[in-house]
Amino acid sequence: MFFFREKTNLFDGQAKHLLHVAPEHAFKKIFSEAIGNGYLTADLMATDVMEKMDITNIQHPENSFDIIYCSHVFEHVPDDRKAMREFFRVLRPSGWAVLNVPIVADVTYEDPSITDPDERTRLFGQPDHVRNYGPDYKNRLEEAGFNVSVFSPEDFLSTDEIERQGMGNRKATGAIYYCRKK
């Protein structure tokens, strides 16, 4: 939320269309109040969303959304590159997306032949994860067409704010992947 307030136009009062995938309960009310009728929640499995959505096949036309927020989803998606291309397709040219994943490896590791839940848990941390991302995640987003800026808490918070919020461990809090169309 600090990032959205400090580095984006999310709260400028202008009409927007925001796609919020796998919506976090804590953000839903805030985003809904900020965006109003242009706010859309979506998920493939959850039932408490506005639209059931497969992000590898988004049923909206090109340039539909000003903002896309999707956090900690791609590690569950077998064809993450296709989902990234879909987000690029439906994002308006002047829009932006925050597409975060946990960065837990030195380089992205995936093996689609691993389907056993216990083996996935051992290798990827959860039975429904299909990969571990490394910092090369940025390259995947760029291959989909995005211009990507990577932010850490130090880029938008003071040292005191970082300490108060418990964000001192960058690996634990993760980077913010801010994406725009090239």
Burial of 94 (0-12, 13-18, 19+ CB in 10 A): exposed
Q: Give the separation between CA 136 and CA 146, rounded to whole angstroms.
A: 14
Quick one: which H or E segment has residue 143? Answer: helix 137-143
The answer to whether 87 and 55 are in contact (CB under 8 A) is: yes
First to last CA, the chain: 25
CATH architecture under which domain 2-181 falls: 3-Layer(aba) Sandwich (3.40)
Number of C-beta neighbours around residue 96 at 10 A: 22
What's the chain's average pLDDT? 94
7 vs 164, more confident: 7
Q: How far apart are CA 168 and CA 162, in angstroms?
A: 6
Place of tokens 């965006």: 35
pLDDT in tens, 81-96: 999 999 999 999 999 9
Confidence grade of residue 27 (pLDDT, cut at 50, 70, 90): very high
- Provide the residue ranges of all domains of the chain, joining segments of one domain with +: 2-181
Per-residue pLDDT averaged across 161-176, rounded? 69
The model's pTM: 0.93
What is the model's pLDDT at position 172?
43
pLDDT computed for residue 160 by the predictor: 87
